[in-house]
Chain A
Amino acid sequence: MAKVLMKGNEAIGAAGIKAGCKYFFGYPITPQNELPEFMSKELPKVDGVFVQAESEVAAINMIYGGAGTGERVMTSSSSPGIALKQEGISYIAGAELPCVIVNISRGGPGLGGIQPSQADYFQSTRGGGNGDYRLPVYAPASIQEAVDLVIEAFDVADYYRNPVMVIGDGMIGQMMEPVEFNEPEKKRELPVKDWATTGTEGKRKPNIINSLALDPAELEKHNIKLQAKYDEMEEKEVRYEAYKLEEAEVVLVAYGMTSRIVKNAMDILEKEGIKTGLIRPITLWPFPNKAFNEIPDTAKALLSVEMSMGQMIDDVKIANNGKLPVEFYGRAGGMIPTPEEIVNKVKEILGGGK
């Protein structure tokens, strides 16, 4: 298929439809509005349904009900709206239903701002919902990658019967890039959805979608079963890009749009004879701990660069396991780091420039 120029939010919606999602439940919030707008226009054309819910709380619960029917369902929001969806995400995880949730994130806390931010790292990887649950979180760094990851996210959700999140900072939602919609590579044999609530038709026992287990022994058994699934995700679903790690003196860690700015900074440093490398987590959870095994002996420090006050750095420290000093550079509130700022930080780490 030929490449088309598309805005991120619209491309993400188109990717959902390409993945066979015909049902979208959403609520307006900047900077993700073009996504529900696109779905409201396009879904009726494929016999699908778009519902503008009365709130993010209602939208995620429509997703909960819709996912129970076994059909592919999708919702999107931005940071404060995702906060409201956390209750539903916990129920969906507990009831083991597949769905895809998109967060086009903005600055916080509270109402915060509407400019791009990565301050939802904790929210997405730790979960604001209650209980022991996890969800795979994909962080694309381009519109093309967003499209590819959204399509794959539906398969991952179906395979594990688990909610999957795709997180892009506001830039991913708002900018335009050329994209193509390729036939997804079939990586997983997807299970039959014999658990779905579609009516018994008198042919089987009722199916019950539920996250309640009043007997603690039964709930613990369920927790152990869920954990086995999360362990499998940690084993099989880790995705990352290791970029120019050979002979790197400083290894930067950055995801999403920040990783592209970091690459620009690396080019500047390279011209000045300073070798740096980049670990770019594509899955924020499961975090690519194993990527840190690839760090060469030349490395003197790690530098986590984020559009936040420092959230992913916690995972970087866990992955690093005390081996190297871990430094941080971040901009927050919708401010975007420049390559020059990152260059200066690297030089500072290496002793005030060479």
Chain B
Amino acid sequence: MAVVFKKTEGLTDKQFHYCPGCTHGIIHRLVGEVLEELEVVGKAIGVAPVGCSVLAYDYFNCDMHEAAHGRAPAVATGIKRILPDNVVFTYQGDGDLASIGTAEIIHAAHRAEKFTTIFVNNAIYGMTGGQMAPTTLIGQKSTTSQAGRDAATTGMPLRMSEMFATIDGAVFVERVSVHDVAHIRKAKKAIKKAFEVQLEGKGFGIVEVLSTCPTNWGIAPVESLTWLKENMIPYYPLGNFRTPEEGK
């Protein structure tokens, strides 16, 4: 009988620790599949963040380096500058990338570092128990914005992809979502493109993936997918912000 579906070689056999309904698992799988399809699992070096995906080093089936909170882009810079022929990626959440690590990610993009970043935005701090993130939506309840995020005292949610779109070194910038199958397929295409841009040595590539956090949102898994679609996408519009012109 022909095998029509199997685990990707880009992931290990280790069982994910993620909560039911969390979309980290899907995003991990997409990255693993892309590494496999591009035949770079053996060349890949991943940098794991601090946050829910802190244990990502156990899941990706390639060499991994666990960074300090927010510092993954600096760690990846050190690796890629020394090993330019390897494929280097960071996998970071929104607390990691959009809060404590903004300097590191912005300047990695600014230097046009030739690695790929998978930025998982679930609009909340997951691992530490549901605190407000820079990406938390206005009115969204968190353990540090219990009456709902208030723009007057905490500002407006930070749109990172739009910011990357202003940086010349960030040659591929796309925001995707994984709330349904069609969007999951689009997300995979973007992730693949971001890795291809790295393989072509064109510059820094980042894919922002809108993701769910049923546990800390306090919303059931299926309803979380709807909540993402109805609340996150209007504020964080999907689409490509930057892509290298063909032949350049």
Residues of A within 8 A of B (CB): 23, 25, 49, 51, 53-55, 57-59, 61-69, 71, 73, 87-88, 91, 95, 197-203, 206-212
- Chain B residues bordering chain A, tally (CB within 8 A): 38
Interface assignment of B173: CB less than 8 Å from any CB of chain A:
no
Known: A62-B81, A66-B82. 12 other contacts (CB 8 A): A54-B106, A57-B71, A58-B71, A64-B67, A199-B43, A199-B62, A199-B83, A200-B63, A206-B63, A208-B63, A209-B65, A210-B57
The proximity string for B residues 63-77 relative to A, scoring 1 for CB distances below 8 Å and 0 otherwise, is: 111111001001111
Contact B61 A208 (CB under 8 A): no
| Other-chain contact of A211, B47, B66, B74, B79 (Cβ < 8 Å) | B66
Give bound CA distance, A55 to B110, whole Å.
14
| Other-chain contact of B64, A62, A73, A208 (Cβ < 8 Å) | A208
Residues of B within 8 A of A54 (CB): 103-104, 106-107, 110
Residues of B within 8 A of A53 (CB): 74, 77, 107
> A65 and B47 in contact (CB under 8 A), knowing A25-B78, A51-B81?
yes
Give bound CA distance, A61 to B63, whole Å.
17
Contact A197 B78 (CB under 8 A): no
B153 CB, nearest partner CB in chain A, Å:
27
Closest to B77 in A: A62
Residues of A within 8 A of B60 (CB): 206
Give bound CA distance, A211 to B69, whole Å.
12
Interface assignment of B178: CB less than 8 Å from any CB of chain A:
no
Give bound CA distance, A301 to B70, whole Å.
51
Contact A49 B42 (CB under 8 A): no
Could you pull out 24 A-B pairs where Cβ atoms are within 8 angstroms?
Answer: A51-B111, A53-B77, A57-B103, A57-B104, A58-B74, A61-B67, A61-B71, A61-B74, A61-B78, A62-B78, A64-B68, A64-B75, A65-B74, A65-B75, A65-B79, A66-B79, A67-B78, A68-B75, A197-B65, A198-B45, A200-B42, A200-B63, A206-B61, A206-B62
Contact A61 B43 (CB under 8 A): no
> A199 and B79 in contact (CB under 8 A), knowing A58-B103, A209-B64, A211-B66?
no
Give bound CA distance, A166 to B43, whole Å.
34
Give bound CA distance, A275 to B146, whole Å.
72
Give bound CA distance, A167 to B12, whole Å.
43
Give bound CA distance, A69 to B88, whole Å.
12
Interface assignment of B54: CB less than 8 Å from any CB of chain A:
yes
Contact A88 B68 (CB under 8 A): yes
Residues of A within 8 A of B87 (CB): 199
Residues of A within 8 A of B54 (CB): 212
Contact B75 A69 (CB under 8 A): no
Give bound CA distance, A199 to B81, whole Å.
14
Using a Cβ cutoff of 8 Å, how many contacts connect chains A and B?
133
Closest to A209 in B: B65
Chain B residues 40-61 with CB under 8 Å of chain A are 41-45, 47, 54-55, 57-58, 60-61
Contact A65 B104 (CB under 8 A): no
Contact B79 A68 (CB under 8 A): yes
The proximity string for B residues 102-144 relative to A, scoring 1 for CB distances below 8 Å and 0 otherwise, is: 0110110011000000000000000000000000000000000
Give bound CA distance, A59 to B104, whole Å.
10
Going nearest first, the 7 A-B pairs with the smallest beta carbon separation are A65-B78, A61-B74, A66-B78, A65-B75, A62-B78, A54-B107, A197-B63
Closest to A91 in B: B68
Interface assignment of B215: CB less than 8 Å from any CB of chain A:
no
Closest to A68 in B: B65
Contact A198 B81 (CB under 8 A): no
Closest to B66 in A: A210
Give bound CA distance, A217 to B176, whole Å.
41
Which of A54, A67, A71 has the largest number of chain B CB atoms within 10 A?
A54
> A55 and B63 in contact (CB under 8 A), knowing A202-B41, A210-B57?
no
A64 CB, nearest partner CB in chain B, Å:
5
| Other-chain contact of B78, A57, A68, A212 (Cβ < 8 Å) | A68
Closest to B68 in A: A91
Interface assignment of B243: CB less than 8 Å from any CB of chain A:
no
Give bound CA distance, A57 to B107, whole Å.
12
Give bound CA distance, A51 to B113, whole Å.
11
Residues of B within 8 A of A88 (CB): 68, 71
Interface assignment of B145: CB less than 8 Å from any CB of chain A:
no
B125 CB, nearest partner CB in chain A, Å:
17
Interface assignment of B99: CB less than 8 Å from any CB of chain A:
no
Contact A71 B64 (CB under 8 A): no
Interface assignment of B240: CB less than 8 Å from any CB of chain A:
no
Closest to B83 in A: A69
Contact B82 A23 (CB under 8 A): yes
Interface assignment of B8: CB less than 8 Å from any CB of chain A:
no
Residues of B within 8 A of A69 (CB): 78-79, 82-83
Give bound CA distance, A49 to B54, whole Å.
29
> A55 and B103 in contact (CB under 8 A), knowing A197-B63, A198-B86?
yes
Contact B103 A61 (CB under 8 A): no
Give bound CA distance, A88 to B71, whole Å.
9
Contact A66 B64 (CB under 8 A): no
Which of A201, A207, A208 has the largest number of chain B CB atoms within 10 A?
A208
A328 CB, nearest partner CB in chain B, Å:
37
